[in-house]
Amino acid sequence: MTQTATAVDHAVPTLTHEQWSDLLEVRATDPGAVARAYSSRRRPAPLLSQKNTLFLVAADHPARGSLSAGGDTMAMADRRSLLARMVAALENPDVDGVLGSPDVVEELLLLGALEGKVVIGSMNRGGLDGASWTMDDRFTGYDAASIAECRLEGGKMLLRIDDQDASTAGTIEACAQAVTELAAKELVAMVEPLPYHRGEDGGLTLLKDARSLARAITIASALGTTSSYTWLKMPACDEPDAVYASTTLPCVVLGGVPGPDPAADLESWGQALVQPTVRGLVIGRALLYPPNGDVRSAVASAAAVLRAAHSGQPAA
């Protein structure tokens, strides 16, 4: 029993005392270090890796007040732990980059974890988790101008669609404007269209049937004055053939909230990853907070599934 606990403890990534104290010191005494880190970051040559895929780790949940992971309602509130897990994931050469809010991106820059990596900035985080206005998802993070100025590869926006909530219309309009502005700067607009149903108790349920997801894709694909730089970020589903056939735009599979069985999660992602329009995988909590705490192994398993989907060979 003691040996198992020790092994799990060693598997959980940590930042050294020196890394953490240096980061806190820079935050307090040298705010200009952030701009210098943005300007000096070595950018990736192509957006897609040499394997013609894109594997990103997401950490923009806390900016929307969503802190739960693995049954712990405060998991993502521990910033030192979150950053350590992100750094560990980014150390894997199969991980192409990160999707994050400005604060997380800047901390990873200061830790030196984003050299040569793809960085997609998270744009709208105002629809707070659990808030009555959650569908009115205001743009409170990066905008197109700052994404260009900070030399990022693109911007991501969340488009939750609830036909019974009129505030969805404002979010659709704001996302369309962001798509247009990013395209004008030749930057990727990664749109995450998610259809929801609000129950009588006010609770929101993500709709993952083929019709609802395909409808959301067709809405997102038409946003803005051009779709030339638009990518779609979509959840794994039971009928990926029908869902991903509704667009020609490049897609990445959203890992989403992890289930109780990591192997089942991987199998579900793999079914979506073989679709012709799917180019990669974006996973957050499912990889950063695996049941046993072993982030590096979780990342390696997901990378193997992505490689297998695009090589035609079974995952090792």
161 touches 196 (CB < 8 A): yes
Q: Which of 229, 248, 237, 247 is nearest to 273 (CA)?
A: 237
Q: Which residues contact 286 (CB under 8 A, 6 or more apart)?
A: 255, 256, 257, 258, 262, 265, 298
C-alpha 112/C-alpha 114 separation (Å) is 6
Q: In terms of C-beta density within 10 A (0-12 exposed, 13-18 middle, 19 or more buried), how is residue 173 classed?
A: exposed
Per-residue pLDDT at 102: 98
C-alpha 54/C-alpha 90 separation (Å) is 13
Per-residue pLDDT at 256: 59
Per-residue pLDDT at 258: 53
pTM of the model: 0.93
Q: Which of 156, 137, 13 is nearest to 64 (CA)?
A: 137
Write phi, then psi, for 2 (nearest 5 degrees). Answer: -65, -40
C-alpha 61/C-alpha 69 separation (Å) is 10
- The CATH H-level superfamily of 45-311 is Aldolase class I (3.20.20.70)
Per-residue pLDDT at 143: 98
Tens of pLDDT, residue by residue, the chain (316 residues): 334 444 445 689 999 999 999 999 999 999 999 999 999 999 998 888 888 999 999 999 999 999 999 889 999 999 999 999 999 999 999 999 999 999 999 999 999 999 999 999 999 999 999 999 999 999 999 999 999 999 999 999 999 999 999 999 999 999 999 999 999 999 999 999 999 999 988 899 999 999 999 999 999 999 999 999 999 999 988 899 999 999 999 999 987 555 566 677 677 778 899 999 999 999 999 889 998 899 999 999 999 889 888 876 555 5
C-alpha 99/C-alpha 125 separation (Å) is 13
75 touches 36 (CB < 8 A): no
